[in-house]
Amino acid sequence: MPNIKTILSLIFSSTILFFSLFVYAKPMLSPTKEEAYQSQLIVIAEYIGYISDNQISYFHGPIAQYRIIQVLKGVSRSMDLSVRYDFHDGSACVEEEGWKFSEELMPDIGSKWILFLGEDASNYWTTYRGDFGRWIANPENLKQVEEGLEEN
């Protein structure tokens, strides 16, 4: 018959194994266009710059400033948008090796973007699944979004 230490050790080990299944960081499923089309606000906007809080990281981007050109879905209270600029789509659990912020990672000032947006708790807009919710506003992407919004 096993002694009490052995039984307690087995119970403890089993408990740790059981709970470790729930705390293991797992990547999210890949983003989809269908989910992007469900965004609260979808706009064509011009990138005008960004604000840095001096704590920019792979998972905590700067606040990008955009000016709305056209609203494709939803309602905006202002023509100016402050958007948390994410460098990932939420699928990654760890920062890309060697990643470092630089101005080159930001869009060109004056460039046009299709933004799939939702508001977050910090009063900034966020794009659907980070960089997946930011599409360059070219004719092909505009047509794809218009067709996708008609279907959804």
Instruction: Answer yes or no: are the C-beta atoms of 152 and 33 closer than 8 Å.
Output: no
Q: How confident is the model at residue 42 (pLDDT cuts 50, 70, 90)?
A: very high
Instruction: Answer yes or no: are the C-beta atoms of 41 and 137 closer than 8 Å.
Output: no
For residue 81, pLDDT over 90 is answered with yes
pLDDT at 9: 65
pLDDT at 90: 73
* DSSP H helices in 24-98: 33-36
Roughly how many angstroms between the first and final C-alpha of the chain, as a whole number?
Answer: 64
Cα(44)–Cα(116) distance, integer angstroms: 9
pTM for the structure as a whole: 0.77
CATH top-level class of 33-151: mainly beta
Instruction: For residue range 57-78, list pLDDT tens digits in order.
Output: 888 889 999 999 999 999 988 9
**Cβ neighbours for 107, distance < 8 A, ≥ 6 positions apart:** 47, 64, 113
